[in-house]
């Protein structure tokens, strides 16, 4: 098992999870984070830290597509190891449906 970040993170990018990760397996895009599935040690400490409930185990329905999504972008984006402020509209976008189609950016973050 591994953990994944899903589309609930898009346009929010809370980074509370980054602070607690013991193996630094989070990677930063312009407007979301992903977890490298081969680096995640399945400890689960990040899951309860996410205010948007965007971190889920890969055993949940529809998680398989997110494993590959996380793998792809974790190989393109820089690692992030320190907490940052969420995106300016995070509270407004939290819980919004269809964020992958509306807001996702393939651009890397600062790391």
Answer whether residue 93 is part of any domain: no
Q: Is residue 92 assigned to a domain?
A: no
- Report residue 6 as tokens: 């899903």
pTM for the whole structure: 0.96
Residue at 111 is within a domain: no
- What's the domain range around 40? 3-82
Is residue 103 included in any domain, yes or no? no
pLDDT in tens, 15-24: 999 999 999 9
Residue 29 lies in a domain: yes
Domain membership flag for residue 66: yes
Number of structural domains the chain divides into: 1
Convert the pLDDT of each residue in 36-70 to its tens digit. Answer: 999 999 999 999 999 999 999 999 988 999 999 99
Determine, yes or no, domain membership for 109. Answer: no
In a domain, 104, yes or no: no
**Residue indicated by tokens 């189609």:** 101
Structure tokens at 53: 């409930």
């Amino acid at each position: 098992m591994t953990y994944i970040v899903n589309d609930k993170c898009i346009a929010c990018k809370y980074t509370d999870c980054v602070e607690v990760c013991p193996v630094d397996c989070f990677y930063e895009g312009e407007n979301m984070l992903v977890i490298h599935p081969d680096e995640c040690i399945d400890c689960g400490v990040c899951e309860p830290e996410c205010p948007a409930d965007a971190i889920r185990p890969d055993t949940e329905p529809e998680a398989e597509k997110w494993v590959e999504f996380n793998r792809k972008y974790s190989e393109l984006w820089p690692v992030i190891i320190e907490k940052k402020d969420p995106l300016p509209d995070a509270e407004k976008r939290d819980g919004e449906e269809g964020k992958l189609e509306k807001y996702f950016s393939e651009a890397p973050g600062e790391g």
